[in-house]
A and B are shown apart, each in its own frame.
Chain A
Amino acid sequence: MTKLALALLKRLGGMVVVLALVATVVFVIVRVTPGDPAAVMLGSDATPQDIAQLRTKMGLDAPLLVQYFQFLLGILKGDLGQSIFLGQSVTQALAARAEPTFFLTLFSILIAVTIALPVGIFSAVRRGTLFDQIVVTLTMVAASVPSFWLGLLLIQTLAVGQGWFPASGYGGPDTSFLERLHHLVLPAVALGVVNSALIIRFTRAAMLDVLGEDYVRTARAKGATERRVILKHALKNAMVPIITVIGLSIAMLIAGAVVTETVFGLPGIGNLVVSAVLRRDYPVIQGALLVVAAIYVLINFIVDILYMLADPRVRL
Chain B
Amino acid sequence: MTLSSLTLPYAASLRRLFGNRAILAGAIILAAVVLAALLAPWIAPYAPNKLSIVNKLKGPSLSHIFGTDEFGRDIFSRAIFAGRASLLVSLGVVCISTVLGIVLGVAAGYFRRLDAPISRLLDAMMSFPDILLAIALVAALGPSLATVILALGITYAPRLARIVRGSTLVLRELPYIEAAVAMGLPTWQILTRHVLLNLASPILVQATFVFASAMLAEASLSFLGVGVSADMPTWGTMLASGREYMNNAPWLMVFPGLAIVFSVLSLQLLGDGLRDLVDPRLAKES
Interface of A is mostly: helix
For B136, the chain A residues whose CB sits under 8 A away are 26, 29, 273, 277, 285, 289
Q: Given that A25-B125, A292-B132 are known contacts, is A144 also in contact with B264, CB under 8 Å in the complex? A: yes
For A300, the chain B residues whose CB sits under 8 A away are 127
For B132, the chain A residues whose CB sits under 8 A away are 254-255, 258, 273, 288-289, 292
Q: Is B127 in contact with A297, judged by CB distance below 8 angstroms? A: yes
User: Is A280 interfacial (CB 8 A cutoff)?
Assistant: yes
For B225, the chain A residues whose CB sits under 8 A away are 274, 278
User: Which A1-51 residues sit within 8 Å CB-CB of chain B?
Assistant: 14, 17-18, 21-22, 24-26, 29-30, 32-34, 40
User: Is A148 interfacial (CB 8 A cutoff)?
Assistant: yes
Q: Given that A21-B121, A153-B253, A289-B136 are known contacts, is A144 also in contact with B129, CB under 8 Å in the complex? A: no
The minimal Cβ–Cβ distance linking B120 to chain A, given in whole angstroms, is: 6
For A25, the chain B residues whose CB sits under 8 A away are 124-125, 128
B: interface residue count bin: 35 or more
For B226, the chain A residues whose CB sits under 8 A away are 274, 277-278
**Interface 0/1 of B235-272, CB less than 8 Å to A:** 00001000100110010010001001110110011001
Q: Is A140 in contact with B269, judged by CB distance below 8 angstroms? A: yes
User: Is B212 interfacial (CB 8 A cutoff)?
Assistant: yes
User: Which A68-87 residues sit within 8 Å CB-CB of chain B?
Assistant: none
Q: Is B239 in contact with A152, judged by CB distance below 8 angstroms? A: yes
Stretch at the interface among B37-45, B138-146, B175-183, B191-199: B138-146
For A293, the chain B residues whose CB sits under 8 A away are 124, 127-128
User: Is B223 interfacial (CB 8 A cutoff)?
Assistant: yes
Q: Is B137 in contact with A292, judged by CB distance below 8 angstroms? A: no
Q: Is B268 in contact with A144, judged by CB distance below 8 angstroms? A: yes
Complex Cα–Cα for A145 and B272 (A): 17
Residue of A nearest to B263 (CB): A144
Complex Cα–Cα for A104 and B97 (A): 31
For A289, the chain B residues whose CB sits under 8 A away are 128, 132-133, 136
Which of A17, A40, A153, A296 contacts B120, CB < 8 Å? A17
Q: Is A296 in contact with B128, judged by CB distance below 8 angstroms? A: yes
Q: Is A18 in contact with B239, judged by CB distance below 8 angstroms? A: no
Q: Is A148 in contact with B135, judged by CB distance below 8 angstroms? A: no
Q: Is A254 in contact with B129, judged by CB distance below 8 angstroms? A: yes
Q: Is B140 in contact with A30, judged by CB distance below 8 angstroms? A: yes
User: Is B224 interfacial (CB 8 A cutoff)?
Assistant: yes
Residue of B nearest to A276 (CB): B139
Complex Cα–Cα for A156 and B250 (A): 8
Residue of B nearest to A160 (CB): B247
For B246, the chain A residues whose CB sits under 8 A away are 152, 156
Q: Given that A277-B138, A289-B132 are known contacts, is A145 also in contact with B261, CB under 8 Å in the complex? A: yes
**Interface 0/1 of A109-130, CB less than 8 Å to B:** 0000000000000000000100
User: Is B216 interfacial (CB 8 A cutoff)?
Assistant: yes
Complex Cα–Cα for A289 and B151 (A): 15
Complex Cα–Cα for A258 and B131 (A): 8
Complex Cα–Cα for A146 and B258 (A): 10
Complex Cα–Cα for A288 and B139 (A): 13
Interface, chain B (partner A; CB < 8 A): 120-121, 123-133, 135-142, 212, 216, 219-220, 223-226, 239, 243, 246-247, 250, 253, 257, 260-262, 264-265, 268-269, 272, 282, 286
* Contacts A/B (CB < 8 Å), 11 sampled: A26-B136, A29-B140, A146-B216, A251-B126, A251-B127, A255-B129, A258-B135, A274-B224, A277-B226, A280-B139, A289-B133
Task: Contacts A258-B129, A273-B135 known; list 11 others, CB within 8 Å.
Answer: A18-B127, A30-B140, A144-B260, A152-B257, A255-B129, A259-B220, A276-B139, A282-B140, A289-B132, A289-B136, A296-B128
Interface, chain A (partner B; CB < 8 A): 14, 17-18, 21-22, 24-26, 29-30, 32-34, 40, 128, 140-141, 143-146, 148-149, 152-153, 156, 160, 208, 251-252, 254-256, 258-259, 262, 273-274, 276-278, 280, 282, 285, 288-289, 292-294, 296-297, 300
